[in-house]
């Protein structure tokens, strides 16, 4: 069965993932590809519950939050109509704004990194990405972008400079651990939209040709 490619964007809040995803989708579509853009937390009920946890409205422990993200991600992959697997099966290119690396970075440092990794890599319904683009930027700069023009009550629990710096270090730890297991490219996101888009385009031929989608 012909399958498309799964591209993951990761990075701290404020690194410009959404803009870069839009740019990449447009440029792939211009080359004739069908692109499905998606994000986590999802719009499924599991993702809506996570948003309420992140805003502080629904109480949760880091362990419980990690498990909620896994549940949401399984649905994200396996939903028969709109799941990642269904789109890949049609030969589409799927781009997701965040994936399991975010759980390793955000929840992994508050719980147990090995546990978060095990529960993902042991789950047969999760799809392995073809390429992970990790957008990097100094946490102070991310924070400036996050807070610009936003009311204080719209700032989520991970959105302060100290928390972002910790998560940034955890992302580095995660990708160091996974360097032989995942296809990760670091993209310097500190630049104009055009400059960063060019760096993203330059990373794309790294996707190994004809790579099959395997479950873990
Ligand atoms: P996101 O939607 O990317 O942020 P934004 O509010 O800027 O659109 O993600 C929401 C938050 O969820 C973000 O702070 C990171 C966090 N998150 C986790 O903690 N673990 C995860 O597994 C994922 C996917 C996101």
Q: Is 54 in the pocket of ligand 1 (CB under 6 A)?
A: yes
Question: 143 lies in a domain?
Answer: yes
Distance 2 CA to ligand 1 centre (A): 31
Distance 86 CA to ligand 1 centre (A): 23
Question: 161 lies in a domain?
Answer: yes
Question: 1 lies in a domain?
Answer: no
Nearest CA to ligand 1 atom 25: 102
Question: 71 lies in a domain?
Answer: yes
pTM score: 0.92
> Is 20 within 8 Å of 108 (Cβ atoms)?
no
Give the residue numbers spanning the domain of 51: 6-215
Q: Supply the pLDDT for residue 205.
A: 79
Dist CA 101 CA 132 (whole Å): 9
Determine whether 174 is exposed, middle or buried from the number of CB atoms within 10 Å of its CB (0-12, 13-18, 19+): buried
Q: Supply the pLDDT for residue 153.
A: 77
Distance 1 CA to ligand 1 centre (A): 33
Is 122 a residue whose pLDDT tops 90? Answer: yes
**What confidence tier does 215 reach under pLDDT thresholds 50, 70, 90?**
very low
Question: 67 lies in a domain?
Answer: yes
To 10 degrees, the CA torsion angle through 98, 103, 107, 111? Answer: -170
pLDDT digits (tens, 9 = 90+) for 37-76: 999 999 999 999 999 999 999 999 999 999 999 999 999 9
Nearest CA to ligand 1 atom 20: 103
For the chain, the domain total comes to 1
Is 90 a residue whose pLDDT tops 70? Answer: yes
Q: Supply the pLDDT for residue 208.
A: 62
Best of 67, 98, 129 to mutate for ligand 1, by most ligand atoms within 8 A of CB? 98
Dist CA 21 CA 197 (whole Å): 9
> Is 127 within 8 Å of 87 (Cβ atoms)?
no
Name the average pLDDT for the chain.
92
> Is 8 within 8 Å of 105 (Cβ atoms)?
no
Question: 88 lies in a domain?
Answer: yes
**CATH number, domain at 106?**
3.40.50.300
Is 154 a residue whose pLDDT tops 90? Answer: no
Distance 9 CA to ligand 1 centre (A): 12
pLDDT digits (tens, 9 = 90+) for 158-213: 778 999 999 999 999 999 999 999 999 999 999 999 999 999 999 997 666 455 45
- Among the ranges given (4-13, 67-76, 131-140, 142-151), the one the predictor scored with the smallest mean pLDDT: 142-151
Q: Supply the pLDDT for residue 39.
A: 98
- Least Cα distance to 156 among 52, 81, 80, 70 occurs for 52
Distance 99 CA to ligand 1 centre (A): 9
> Is 143 within 8 Å of 161 (Cβ atoms)?
yes
Q: Supply the pLDDT for residue 147.
A: 87
The dihedral through the CA atoms of 192, 198, 201, 206 has a sign that is negative
Q: Among the atoms of ligand 1, which is closest to the Cα of residue 13?
A: 7
**What confidence tier does 89 reach under pLDDT thresholds 50, 70, 90?**
very high
């Amino acid at each position: 069965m012909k399958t498309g490619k799964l591209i993951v964007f990761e990075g701290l809040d404020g690194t410009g993932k959404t803009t870069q995803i839009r740019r990449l989708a447009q440029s792939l579509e211009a080359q004739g590809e069908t692109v499905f853009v998606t994000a986590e937390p999802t719009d499924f009920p599991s993702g809506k519950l996570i948003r309420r946890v992140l805003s502080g409205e629904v109480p949760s422990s880091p362990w419980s939050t990690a498990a909620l993200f896994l549940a949401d991600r399984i649905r994200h992959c396996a939903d028969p109509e709109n799941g990642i697997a269904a789109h890949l099966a049609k030969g589409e290119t799927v781009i997701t704004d965040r994936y399991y690396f975010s759980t390793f970075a955000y929840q992994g440092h508050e719980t147990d990194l090995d546990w978060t990794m095990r529960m993902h890599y042991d789950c047969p319904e999760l799809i392995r990405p073809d390429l992970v683009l990790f957008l990097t930027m100094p946490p102070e700069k991310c924070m400036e972008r996050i807070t610009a023009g936003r009311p204080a009550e719209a700032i989520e629990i991970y959105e302060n400079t100290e928390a972002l710096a910790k998560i940034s270090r955890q992302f580095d730890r995660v990708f160091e651990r996974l360097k032989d297991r995942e296809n990760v490219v670091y993209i310097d996101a500190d630049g104009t939209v055009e400059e960063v888009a060019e760096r993203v385009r330059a990373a794309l031929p790294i996707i190994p040709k004809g790579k099959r989608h395997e479950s873990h």
